[in-house]
Chain A
Amino acid sequence: GENVEQHPSTLSVQEGDSAVIKCTYSDSASNYFPWYKQELGKRPQLIIDIRSNVGEKKDQRIAVTLNKTAKHFSLHITETQPEDSAVYFCAEGLYGNNRLAFGKGNQVVVIP
């Protein structure tokens, strides 16, 4: 079955530093790994995703890396800003399958 774990549960960083959040998954058949950002009281929004045929993907200050052998993937945020403060959810799924299994979320706090 699908089981996604996120670490650490809470992460505090100084503004300008980098933040890294790691997710581990159990289903070796999974091949789609999105990251969602949820600000307080708002809806989750997709910020980046990766498919298993690549090892890394970047979008400005955000990057995701995937290690299929170890079954983990990580979100990297560089030059953090106060607006990066939010809860970040990772998920796993099969590309082309409708279901996603979400982790419990990481609270990221950027200290000005």
Chain B
Amino acid sequence: DGGITQSPKYLFRKEGQNVTLSCEQNLNHDAMYWYRQDPGQGLRLIYYSQIVNDFQKGDIAEGYSVSREKKESFPLTVTSAQKNPTAFYLCASSMGTAAGGTQYFGPGTRLLVL
């Protein structure tokens, strides 16, 4: 778990503002993921990336964007189009299709709207 870091721990967003959440891993994992967690809703997949320079939409991608320019990094941007962004955001990584589905999570970023 210590190989995946997220920053910041808390993030405040003003109306109409885009904000970017950082996720870095030094586990040499090919795949990375972003989840949103709301009370009573479990973990919902926003975006995932199986390899550098490639990513796919998850179940709730609207209002979010990602990039995967480096294997170690998978930043998530919460755009102004996301009307209800307040949530706990979790990043995860896994070795990839060759090795199985175990995902390891970062410590999370809590996003609050001012």
Residues of A within 8 A of B100 (CB): 32, 95-96
Total interface residues on A, using CB and 8 Å?
22
CB of B48 within 8 Å of the partner chain: yes
- Docked complex: A21-46 residues within 8 A CB-CB of B: 32, 34, 36, 42-46
A98: interface (CB < 8 Å):
yes
Question: What number of residue pairs across chains A and B have CB atoms under 8 A from each other?
Answer: 57
Contact B42 A103, beta carbon cutoff 8 Å: yes
- For B40, the chain A residues whose CB sits under 8 A away are 104-105
Distance (Å) between the CB of A47 and the closest chain B CB? 11
- If over half of A's interface residues share one DSSP class (helix, strand or loop), that class is named, otherwise mixed; here it is loop
Chain B interface residue count: which class?
20 to 34
Interface pair B48/A99, CB less than 8 Å apart: yes
Q: Contacts A98-B50, A98-B97, A99-B48 hold; do A46 and B102 have CB atoms under 8 A apart?
A: yes
Interface SS of chain B: helix, strand, loop or mixed? strand
* B31 nearest CB neighbor, chain A only: A98
Question: A89 CA to B90 CA in the complex, in Å?
Answer: 14
B45 on interface, CB distance cutoff 8 Å: yes
Tell me if A89 and B101 are in contact (CB < 8 A).
no
Chain B residues near A46 (CB-CB < 8 A): 102-104
Which residues from chain B sit less than 8 Å from chain A, CB to CB?
A: 1, 31, 33, 35, 40-45, 48, 50, 58, 90, 94, 96-98, 100-108
